Each structure stands twice: as C-alpha cells, then as structure tokens.
Amino acid sequence: MKKSLDITLIYVLDIFSLLCCCFGIGFLLSIPAYLIANKKIKAVQINQDEYEGGLKQLKTAKTVSLVLVIINLIFFLFVLFFFIIPFINIYNDPDSWMEFQKEFEEFDQELDRSIYGNSMFPGSDECINPNLVYRNITVRVNRIWKSEKGETKFAIGTIQTESNGGNLLKNTYFPSWAAKKVTIGEMVKVDLVYTFGQKNDWKVIYVHPKVAPEFVSEIRISDSLGTVSDLDTVCKNYQIPMQSIGHMVGKNGYAIQKIVTDYIYNNPKQTYVTPNEENDEESVQMKWKIPVDFDLTNENDATNVAIWKNEEHPESSFEWAHQILNKMYC
C-alpha cells in the first residue's frame, strides 16, 4: 500500500508563521515547515514507488516555506535591532529607562483620553470622540447674544489651555439656559460634547457651580488709632482653587478689563469704575480705572488673592471687588 503525500501540515505551519511574522517569531514555524517539505521530497526521490500524490505540489509547498523563512528572518532582524536591543540598552541605563517609562505613561494617558475621555482636554494631535462627554473644561465667555426684547439667546466661549497661547478652540457654544448663568469675560468649568459638522465645534451641556472664595485675613492701616474709617487702607486676603494666573488676568490685564466692561454695561449707574485717563506705559491699555488692586499668587495648591483698597475709595468697594473676583476664576 502506497503512502500519501499529505502537505496540509506544511501549509498550516506556513499560515501561522505568516500570522506571527510581525512579532518576529514566525521563523519558528516556517523553518519546521520547510524542513518537513524537504524531508518528504528526499523520501519520494529515493522511493518513488512507495508514495502516491504529486511531487510538484510538494515542491511548491517547499518553495512557499522557503519564502516565508526569508520573510520571517527579515522581520526578526528588524524587531531585534529596532526594538529588542534598544529596549535592553534602555533597561540597563537608569536615566534612559525613566525617560522611557515617562513617555510610555504619556502615551497611555493619551490613549485613554482618546478612547474613554476624562477631565483632561485632548491635545491637537489626539482623537476627539463625538460620543463622549469631556468634563471640567475651563472656558472663558467671549460674547453673549440677546434678542431685541433682551432675552438671552446663546453665548460663545473660548477653551482655555496652557498650550497654543491659551486658546485651543474658540467655538464653544452655550445654549440659552447655559448662557443665562454666565457673563462676558467670565471663566467657568463646563462639561462639553463635540458637535461634529456643526457651526460650533463644542457644545456646553453642564455649567459647574463655583467654590466661593474663602476669607483668610484682613490687614487695616489707619491714621486714627482705634477707629475704623472709609479712609483706611485695607487688604483682605482670600483663597480660591488653584488657577492659572495668566488666564485670570490676561495680557496687560485684558481679561479683567473685559469683565469690568461687561459690569459697566449691565450697571450703567455704578460709581466704582471710572474711565482711565492716565497715559503712562503701564496703564495706556487699561480702559477702566478700578477701585481696588488684585494681588494674585499660587501657593500650596491654592491661589491666594489679596484685594487692596486705598483711602480714595469707600469700604463698599470690596463688595464690587467680590463680584469681579467671582468672574475671574473657575
């Protein structure tokens, strides 16, 4: 009875070696496939009468195995020189290993943001998932649209970030219900969804309430011992959640000026703010002269706010200052 020349095993090994090719280990399967094919060919050539089946098919299987051996060895060398050896060198060098771990953690965080989303806003080179809610995003309100009857229609804001000069995307849409909770120039924390294909890239779906400033201390400098007067110089110190001071103040105080301008528009009879008539280099870009000075510092995971009032303004200036401060942070 003649033996069958079954080449199934050879092709099965070849297929699995191709699947493992990218990992650099496919040669562990393609080499045995080639050896099996070569062994069977030699056996047939010695005793052709003992076997049935096409020798031509067996030679084809051997050729396929040889080609896959070459391909797999090339991939193995590629993986060896570009991945395995560099990884060993990095592992043996503590500084390089720490740098590698840091880069890997950053990659892992970016991958999580692109797949699952979190409170960190995605960077310009990352994926934006329109099905996710991006939470606790800092946005400054740029403009509010109102109807002829004075009803708030919607607002547009700018996402605040440390990259790209502080402005990543300007098209953040506040629906009517959200626009009614904010004022022009105000910074707020919001939850956003990406509105693919719409006029504005982002839509606000929730406005987070603010944490009220925590009073810390008061310093009073008085000309009259033991008496309290509106003519005293007073400093009141508060703490708010950690902020970017640059975002709070803006270039040349622009952010504060924008908040003050909106305050004057909504309170035309107010007497705290007056037009700035000074022409020195520091104040030439300041449209309004405000009754207090804000001194901001970051320390111990909080932003310290010192509000100074001099003898030229009444004690009630602090009430005005509180309204402005509440718009400056989120």
pLDDT digits (tens, 9 = 90+) for 14-67: 888 888 887 778 888 888 888 888 888 887 777 776 766 667 888 888 888 888
Phi first, then psi: give them for residue 86, nearest 5 degrees.
-60, -40
Question: Quick check: 286 and 259 in contact, CB under 8 A?
Answer: no
In the predicted structure, residue 296 carries a pLDDT above the cut 70: yes
Segment 148-160, tens digit of pLDDT: 888 888 898 888 7
Provide the token pair at 108.
């892992």
Instruction: Tell how strand 3-4 and strand 51-52 pair up.
Output: parallel
Per-residue pLDDT at 164:
43
In the predicted structure, residue 122 carries a pLDDT above the cut 60: no
Segment 183-195, tens digit of pLDDT: 888 889 999 888 8
Question: Quick check: 53 and 5 in contact, CB under 8 A?
Answer: yes
Question: What is the percentage of the chain residues whose pLDDT exceeds 90?
Answer: 5
Sign for the CA dihedral angle at 260, 316, 325, 303 comes to positive
Q: How confident is the model at residue 167 (pLDDT cuts 50, 70, 90)?
A: very low
Whole-structure pTM value: 0.55
Per-residue pLDDT at 292:
78
Number of H helices, E strands in the chain: 9, 13
Task: Quickly list DSSP for 315-328.
Answer: TTHHHHHHHHHHHH
Provide the token pair at 226.
């033991």
Measure the N-to-C terminal CA separation of the chain; round to a whole number of Å. Answer: 88
Per-residue pLDDT at 208:
92
Per-residue pLDDT at 46:
76
Per-residue pLDDT at 94:
64
Residues 86-100 have a mean pLDDT of 67
Give the amino acid at 270.
Q
Phi first, then psi: give them for residue 298, nearest 5 degrees.
-105, 130
Provide the token pair at 86.
């560099």
Paired with 167 in beta bridges are 160
Segment 225-278, tens digit of pLDDT: 667 776 778 888 999 888 888 888 877 777 888 888 888 788 777 767 767 665
Instruction: Tell how strand 302-309 and strand 233-241 pair up.
Output: antiparallel
Paired with 139 in beta bridges are 159, 188
Per-residue pLDDT at 163:
47
Phi-psi region of 117 (alpha: psi -120 to 50; beta: other; left: phi over 0): left
Question: Quick check: 255 and 185 in contact, CB under 8 A?
Answer: yes
Phi-psi region of 197 (alpha: psi -120 to 50; beta: other; left: phi over 0): left
In the predicted structure, residue 166 carries a pLDDT above the cut 70: no
- Pick the closest to residue 76 from 33, 16, 27 (CA basis): 27
Residues 130-141 have a mean pLDDT of 83
C-alpha to C-alpha distance for 209 and 188, rounded to whole angstroms? 8
Phi first, then psi: give them for residue 187, nearest 5 degrees.
-105, 130
Per-residue pLDDT at 90:
65
C-alpha to C-alpha distance for 251 and 230, rounded to whole angstroms? 32
Residues 134-155 have a mean pLDDT of 87
Per-residue pLDDT at 98:
66
Residue 317: Cβ-neighbour burial (10 angstroms; 0-12, 13-18, 19+)? buried
Residues 209-226 have a mean pLDDT of 82
C-alpha to C-alpha distance for 144 and 185, rounded to whole angstroms? 10
Question: What is the percentage of the chain residues whose pLDDT exceeds 70?
Answer: 74
Q: How confident is the model at residue 206 (pLDDT cuts 50, 70, 90)?
A: very high
Close Cβ partners of 60 (under 8 Å, ≥ 6 residues apart): none
**pLDDT: is 285 or 222 the higher one?**
222
Question: Quick check: 10 and 18 in contact, CB under 8 A?
Answer: no
Phi first, then psi: give them for residue 88, nearest 5 degrees.
-65, -40
C-alpha to C-alpha distance for 289 and 261, rounded to whole angstroms? 11
Per-residue pLDDT at 315:
74
Provide the token pair at 277.
């008539």
